[in-house]
Amino acid sequence: MALTQILPLLLMFVIFYFLLIRPQQKRQKATAAMQASIAKGDAVVTIGGLHGFVDGIDEENNTITLKTTDGTRLVFERNAIRDKKVKA
């Protein structure tokens, strides 16, 4: 009797795990790996949508200096990088 009452809750947890929790963890791991692999000269996009090239990396402060097309240099946290563009 108790099993029939608990079974739907367990089933819902399993469904939530495979549909929501597990994919989110995979995305977080992929994003962390991409942010760790950024090197000088890479074309990147920030969370705010700014496109630029990595001009310098400060491992101590965990910051990245981006150079935009007009030559402006901006400093961002490494976590602010959303995508690394593929070079064509």
Number of Cβ within 10 Å of residue 63's Cβ equals 15
pTM here? 0.75
66 closest CA partner among 86, 88, 40: 40
Do 44 and 10 fall within a single domain? no
16-21 mean pLDDT: 93
23-37 mean pLDDT: 94
Domain range for 80? 39-88
Do 58 and 31 fall within a single domain? no
Do 8 and 28 fall within a single domain? yes
CATH code for the domain in which residue 82 is found? 2.30.30.140
Cβ-Cβ contacts under 8 Å for 68 (sequence gap 6 or more): 50, 51, 52, 74
Please write the tens of the pLDDT for every residue from 40-88: 999 999 999 999 999 999 999 999 999 999 999 999 999 999 999 876 5
Length of the chain equals: 88
DSSP element (H, E) containing 39 = none
Do 5 and 48 fall within a single domain? no
Greater model confidence, 86 or 28: 28
Do 44 and 33 fall within a single domain? no
